[in-house]
Structure 1
Amino acid sequence: MTDDSKPIRSTQASELHTSNSATTQGPVQQLLALLEVEYEPLLTRLSAHLRSPEAAADALHDVYLKLRAQPDIGELRSPRSYLYRMAVNVALNKRRGDWRTVNMDTGELPEFADNAPDQESAALAADEMDRALLALHALPRRRQAIFLARWRDEKSQADIAVEFGLHKRSVQKELARAESHLRKVLRRPR
């Protein structure tokens, strides 16, 4: 029996079909035809790779939809490998997207506390901020500058002392006076 008399497997038949039709069809039509002919073997191979027949079927369906959208695909050397890689990539991208989302019933959602302030709390906070800024601007210029250097600019007391030409203890006293004034205005306990 010669090699010419061997029976043709389905994959060989589809390769012959693909190579004959490649001259008359574009790459997208070639892939769509191959997907139709090779659906079951692709599904089996993809199911083993993804360890889920459902995920494999979804991936092949998504590949079909992508191909129906007529993407720009250049010349193909191995259409079957291209289809398989395309399906694997689609499945992995879907899996990555699923990892980023949380699936839960809407009944479970009320268990999570809403940390966003309500309108009343937001209004009170805005009022308190306005009072704090007014109190800060009411401070003597040097005390205000020392306070801002410490809390806004995050400078150390030693750096502030050097910058203002003061002793470190004087900086501590100025900060204590500024904080005391702000606590009084904001009605905060010591």
Structure 2
Amino acid sequence: MRNTPLIEAFKENEQDLIRFLIVRLKSAFAAQDLAQELYLRVCGLDESFAVRNGRAYLFRMASNLAIDHLRREARQAELRDELQTFFGDEAEVATPEEALISRNELERLERAMAELPPLSRRIFYLSRFEQKSQREIAALVGLSPTAVFKHLRRVIDYLAAVRDT
């Protein structure tokens, strides 16, 4: 692998980036992980990719990674809280009949997801599993935010109809 100017800028600013991430994330371990992720992303850029100010670009990338990381952590905390509320202090053990019903419902929803057009399935995945905003998804798939909203609405309506049948 060839050292590009951006890789060189990363190596020169690595400790500053890590300190920056530690302050943002309040965790040295998470900061190290995100710094490594940042390095891998920089290494994955096309060699012809050029920026005027490598340091500023790297800090912007680090900031975006930190924001995404904090959003994921917040979403995971929400899900844990929901599960705690739903199940209470002690989770009830499902009866064999309940487990079978749940498994069948999950299989129906998986089949329904497989029947969706690939673009709609991707938009739904980015929204629900990667917690991307409609604007972020629109940029990734090349649609307007309104079109992304319409795809999501159709998928959710379709899955709800499948669930309710």
Q: For the superposition of Structure 1 and Structure 2, which TM-score range results when normalised by the shorter chain? A: 0.3 to 0.5
Structure with more relative contact order (C-alpha pairs < 8 Å, separation 6 or more): 2
Which structure would you say has the larger Rg? 1
| TM-score, with structure 1 as normaliser | 0.38
Structure having the higher helix fraction is 2
| TM-score, with structure 2 as normaliser | 0.43
